[in-house]
Amino acid sequence: MPVAGNPLLSVKIYLSVAFFIVPERAIFEQDKSIYNRMKTILITGGAGFIGSHVVHLFVNKYPAYKIVNLDKLTYAGNLANLKDIENLPNYEFVKGDIVDSKFMLKLFEEKQFDGVIHLAAETHVDRSISNPTEFVFTNVIGTVNLLNAAKHIWKDHYEGKRFYHISTDEVYGTLGATGMFTEETGYDPHSPYSASKASSDHFVHAYHDTFGLPSVVSNCSNNYGSYQFPEKLIPLFINNIQNNKPLPVYGKGENVRDWLWVEDHARAIDIIFHKGKNGETYNIGGHNEWKNIDLIRAMCRIMDRKLGRPIGESEKLITFIKDRAGHDLRYAIDSAKLQHELGWAPSLQFEEGLEKTIDWYLENEEWLHNVTSGDYQKYYEEQYVKR
Ligand code: NAD
Ligand code: TYD
């Protein structure tokens, strides 16, 4: 009998093909019940930096999932990040604002999502200092709207459902010279950004504890890699070095960040989404602490080599400026729980990741030009509005 005439047989063949091409198929094999039930997954903020890596991973790795990417396309959202997958049958883009509760509820009712991976947020600390209110709307109200919509459509039938909230290590505040953030560290946010993320984390935990909503939260350290908007340290400085512009170092450059390769974060999200325990928090970090000024000097050296400049040339661009208000001194994440309980580990050495990242920005000058000039908005209009 032809496959087309037998839907069960075609599903079986589709699944075998899916399993064959999926390298980490163990997750499915260990818990096929989740696989059978979790069909339509909402990823919010999928046009942003980390979101676009998560969308890529899920769309390519799980052909049997329908991935719906909901994004407002703020300055940080860019559909060019997803060009290679935009026509795949298991991917759909929806433009929308998580702050619009009616719109979100309607979308949840229409799509009947089985899972939510929530990344949409305002994310830049400096912007949160100049405009804190926007962070409250998107990060707090937006998250509560999603929780309400999930609670509404799941109506206490929570089996096989999951709400996964992506958060930051910045909720823990700042460390001195020693120590690390664990899942037990108390929240002590200092910037409006981290305060808004802390608040949203609390709401997710509250919906779990009060309503039994099946939810999980992860708190990750600073990410780096391709598709990051050039307002954050690493892409901003790559861009400035290339264009011989000053490198504005806040204070004395002594603040320490723990850098993680964005694709390692996306892999952690995949593992936590499928294997994490409801009600739990998982810390994700690179065990890779760098003082800002050391990282900046390392970037300058690599860029000198790649741009054929005399060694030491780009360092001359370093300009110390007034410190960021409320600037957290040091972040360091202890990810032992995730490593031991769920078997995740970072895959890339920082030196290799930094080289790869610099290469990507140098090879994707047009992407960098478009995001800095705002031209990528035209792409969206041509792709969706004018059609
Ligand atoms: P980003 O700023 O690059 O992207 C955010 C995305 O959210 C954009 O595509 C934007 O258009 C979308 N968005 C913003 N407001 C929205 C709204 N109201 N409705 C719908 N979509 C909206 O952010 P990122 O760096 O990719 O961070 C993603 C998530 O990961 C955030 O929740 C952030 O707090 C968290 N996080 C980031 C880092 C990091 O180093 N970048 C580290 C830990 C955790
Ligand atoms: P950033 O990339 O904004 O991430 P976060 O503040 O969320 O950690 O900044 C990383 C570090 O680099 C932080 O200590 C602030 C510092 N920084 C500068 O010194 N100059 C800059 O222009 C920027 C954007 C950041």
Reported as a single tens digit per residue, the pLDDT across 33-67 is 544 545 899 999 999 999 999 999 999 999 999 99
**Domain-embedded: residue 281:** yes
Q: What is the mean pLDDT of residues 23-32?
A: 48
Residue 207 known to be catalytic? no
Residues 6 or more apart from 91 whose CB is under 8 A from it? 55, 59, 67, 69, 82, 85
Predicted confidence (pLDDT) at residue 385 exceeds the cutoff of 90: no
Residue 189 is assigned to a structural domain of this protein: yes
pLDDT at 16: 37
Find out whether the beta carbon of 107 lies less than 6 Å from any atom of ligand 1.
Answer: no
Residue 23, pLDDT > 50, answer no
Mean of all residue pLDDT scores within the chain: 90
Backbone φ and ψ for 273, nearest 5 degrees, come out as -60, -40
| 207 domain residue, yes or no | yes
Question: Looking at the domain assignment, is residue 193 inside a domain?
Answer: yes
Is there a catalytic annotation at residue 170? yes
215 burial via Cβ count (<10 Å: 0-12, 13-18, 19+): buried
- Residue 373: band (very low, low, confident or very high) from pLDDT cuts 50, 70, 90: confident
In a domain, 299, yes or no: no
What is the biggest distance separating any 2 CA atoms in the chain, rounded to whole angstroms? 74
pTM for this structure?
0.91
Average pLDDT over residues 197-223: 98
- Considering the domain boundaries, does residue 121 fall inside one? yes
pLDDT at 378 > cutoff 90:
no
Centre of ligand 1 to C-alpha 272, Å, is 18
As a whole number, mean pLDDT of residues 119-135 equals 96
Starting from the CA of residue 141, give the closest ligand: 1
Q: Identify the CATH number of the domain in which residue 183 sits.
A: 3.40.50.720
Query: Is a pLDDT exceeding 50 seen at residue 325?
Result: yes
Provide the domain limits for residue 70. 24-225+259-289+328-350
Atom of ligand 2 nearest to the CA of 256: 14
Report the pLDDT averaged over residues 227-243: 95
So what's the pLDDT on residue 379?
A: 58
Ligand 2 in reach of 248 Cβ (< 6 A)? yes
What spatial distance separates the first Cα and last Cα of the chain, rounded to whole Å?
A: 40
Residue 345, CA atoms < 13 Å, CB-side half-sphere: 5
Q: Which amino acid is at 92?
A: E
From the CA of 128, the nearest ligand is 2
Overall number of domains in the chain: 1
Rounded to whole angstroms, the Cα distance separating 350 from 236 reads: 18
Asked if 42 and 71 touch (Cβ cutoff 8 Å), the reply is no
Instruction: Give the tens place of pLDDT for each residue, 261-287.
Output: 999 999 999 999 999 999 999 999 989
Task: Give 194 Cα–ligand 2 centroid separation in angstroms.
Answer: 14
Residue 381 above 90 pLDDT?
no
Closest CA to 307 of 245, 226, 244, 235: 244
